[in-house]
């Protein structure tokens, strides 16, 4: 993930105190790599040599010396392991391998760790056959690749790759710790705010209707804006990059202002809550940026590690930490947004969830058929007059059975509370229908008459 330069700088400047200290320390890790490369080269292990040793081609299987690299987790720290496999039978025919083994065994700081308790001393013939020159490297008696060849392994114990991974995993834990804290702070801030909004927008009296409709518009625009996650299936419900999220957040703010749903006085508590809402979203954005920035830093530093050493740390590292819940932060924005969206829906229901599938207006008065589908009374009466018996949604034979007992009273009261303006409008339209008649030419009755018919 790449960030636009200006965007990155702007966000970095806004980072809350303590955040940059907790972030992945790229420069320090880079120094670590440098020291490790030096350590390797003192053993004759240049990147080019390691590439030759580590490649797993068939040809390599025949080689006298190969190298295997792995990462494992001890506690929460990732520990590297470099193992040199030596086939002593082939060693005398392989000049490169022989000199390699000689060089490695001459080093005192390596190869002290063994896989099996069985160990022995081996001798390396110098060119010219000086048998007295022996190294005291002990090697483990290890698994053999083929039945007739004896392959032994010795582990290279180096300092700076251990330091590198210890540093990296510790920093990742710091990052996750900070994110955990921030997540809790943001989470409760959102909770408190939605609670406040639910109080001001609660339609306990006509006085609150403006707030109710104001927040319904804001929340609808908020859902439409899809700021942190794309809700489109084509996008695979993917999280957005912080830069894109930033653009969606500005779009949302512009739309709210364009909609003129907020009161004219900016001192009004709805404005105060709205500004808080936008601010919290900005904080969430900073967090996603922080998260992506660290992810990027880890990927980049491992790439550098691999490039300088020819080892394959990057894929191994992500595989190893993947199973560690402490090290792999779940997406903060995703978790908070999911929670927030469901909360917003329950605080202020949206009209689209209460529409009649036939007329696309509010399904008032709501008639619940035996198949549990809900239509407005107006449309249901038209269906009955046309002697249509099949439910338009599921084709169950339920329409003609319905009578006044099918009116969903609880839903009706709920709609009256939360959609007073839509209901009023619907009543007016139904009255108009009475005089003009709908396109079906069936004379339609007002709600009052409809009850008698049913």
Catalog residues that contact Zn ion under the rule CB under 5 A: 356, 358-359, 371, 373, 376, 379, 391, 393-394, 396
Task: Name the helix (H) or strand (E) containing 257.
Answer: helix 242-259
Least Å from the CB of residue 359 to Zn ion: 3
Rounded CA gap, 354 and 10, in Å? 43
Nearer to Zn ion by C-beta: 346 or 404? 404
Rounded CA gap, 50 and 62, in Å? 17
- CA-to-CA dists, residue 113 to 66, 67, 85, 135, 228, angstroms: 17, 15, 13, 15, 49
- CA-to-CA dists, residue 222 to 50, 363, 376, 396, angstroms: 54, 24, 28, 37
Nearer to Zn ion by C-beta: 183 or 373? 373
8 A C-beta contact, residue 284 and residue 290: no
For 132, list phi and psi in degrees, rounded to 5.
-80, -15
Count CA atoms closer than 13 A to 69's CA, side-chain side: 19
Sheet holding 134-140, edge to edge: 65-74, 77-87, 151-156, 134-140, 119-123
Length of the chain equals 454
Nearer to Zn ion by C-beta: 273 or 364? 364
Longest dimension (CA), the chain: 116
Nearer to Zn ion by C-beta: 212 or 391? 391
DSSP secondary structure string, 305-368?
Answer: HHHHH---HHHHHHHHHTT-TTTS---HHHHHHHHHHHHHHHHS--GGGGB-TTTSSB--SEEE
Rounded CA gap, 185 and 182, in Å? 5
Nearer to Zn ion by C-beta: 162 or 385? 385
Nearer to Zn ion by C-beta: 335 or 423? 423
Least Å from the CB of residue 281 to Zn ion: 36
Nearer to Zn ion by C-beta: 6 or 439? 439
8 A C-beta contact, residue 62 and residue 56: no
Least Å from the CB of residue 429 to Zn ion: 10
Least Å from the CB of residue 381 to Zn ion: 10
Least Å from the CB of residue 195 to Zn ion: 34
Query: Which residues pair with residue 71 across a beta bridge?
Result: 80
DSSP secondary structure string, 172-226?
Answer: HHHHHHHHHHHHHHHHHHHHHHHHHHHHHT--SSGGGHHHHHHHHHHHHHHHHHT
Name residues whose C-beta falls within 8 Å of residue 433's C-beta, 6 or more positions apart in sequence.
378, 444
Count CA atoms closer than 13 A to 123's CA, side-chain side: 9
Nearer to Zn ion by C-beta: 358 or 434? 358
Nearer to Zn ion by C-beta: 224 or 397? 397
Nearer to Zn ion by C-beta: 14 or 397? 397
Least Å from the CB of residue 370 to Zn ion: 8
Nearer to Zn ion by C-beta: 16 or 437? 437
Least Å from the CB of residue 213 to Zn ion: 22
Tokens representing 434 are: 């009475």
Least Å from the CB of residue 251 to Zn ion: 33
Going by the DSSP 8-state scheme, the letter that residue 146 receives in this structure is S
Nearer to Zn ion by C-beta: 394 or 428? 394
Least Å from the CB of residue 379 to Zn ion: 3
Going by the DSSP 8-state scheme, the letter that residue 117 receives in this structure is S
Least Å from the CB of residue 398 to Zn ion: 6
Least Å from the CB of residue 366 to Zn ion: 10
């Amino acid at each position: 993930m790449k960030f636009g330069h200006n965007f990155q700088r702007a966000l970095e400047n806004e980072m809350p105190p303590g955040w940059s200290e907790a972030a992945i320390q790229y420069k320090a890790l880079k120094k670590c790599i440098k020291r490790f490369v030096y350590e390797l080269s003192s053993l004759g292990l240049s990147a080019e040599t390691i590439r030759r040793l580590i490649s797993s081609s068939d040809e390599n299987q025949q080689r006298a010396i190969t190298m295997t690299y792995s990462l494992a987790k001890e506690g929460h720290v990732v520990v590297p392991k470099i193992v040199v496999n030596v086939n002593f039978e082939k060693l005398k025919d392989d000049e490169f391998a022989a000199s390699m083994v000689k060089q490695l065994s001459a080093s005192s700081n390596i190869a002290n760790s063994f896989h099996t308790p069985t160990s022995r001393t081996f001798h390396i013939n110098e060119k010219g056959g000086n048998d007295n020159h022996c190294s005291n490297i002990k090697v483990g008696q290890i698994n053999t690749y083929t039945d007739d060849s004896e392959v032994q392994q010795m582990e290279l114990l180096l300092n700076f790759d251990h330091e590198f991974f210890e540093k990296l995993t510790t920093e990742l834990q710091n990052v996750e710790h900070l994110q955990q804290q921030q997540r809790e702070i943001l989470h409760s801030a959102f909770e408190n705010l939605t609670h406040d909004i639910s109080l001001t927008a609660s339609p306990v009296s006509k006085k609150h209707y403006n707030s109710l409709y104001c927040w319904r518009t804001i929340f609808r625009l908020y859902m439409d804006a899809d700021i942190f996650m794309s809700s489109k299936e084509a996008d695979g419900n993917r999280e957005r990059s912080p830069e894109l999220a930033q653009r969606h957040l500005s779009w949302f703010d512009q739309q709210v202002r364009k909609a003129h749903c907020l009161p004219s006085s900016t001192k009004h508590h709805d404005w105060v809550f709205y500004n808080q809402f936008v601010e919290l979203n900005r904080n969430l954005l900073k967090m996603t940026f922080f998260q992506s920035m660290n992810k990027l830093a880890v990927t980049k530093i491992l790439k550098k590690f691999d490039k300088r050493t020819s080892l394959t740390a990057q894929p191994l590292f992500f595989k190893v930490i993947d199973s560690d819940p402490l090290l792999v932060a779940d997406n903060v924005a995703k978790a908070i947004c999911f929670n927030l969206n469901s909360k917003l829906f329950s605080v202020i229901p949206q009209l689209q969830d209460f529409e009649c599938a036939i007329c696309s207006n509010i399904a008032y008065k709501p008639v619940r058929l035996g198949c549990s589908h809900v239509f407005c009374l107006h449309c249901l009466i038209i269906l009955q007059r046309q002697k249509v018996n099949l439910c338009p949604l599921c084709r169950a034979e339920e329409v003609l059975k319905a009578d006044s007992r099918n009116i969903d009273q609880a839903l009706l009261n709920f709609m009256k509370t939360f959609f007073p303006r839509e209901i009023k409008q619907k009543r007016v339209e139904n009255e108009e229908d009475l005089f003009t008649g709908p396109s079906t030419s069936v004379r339609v009755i007002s709600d009052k008459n409809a009850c008698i018919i049913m």
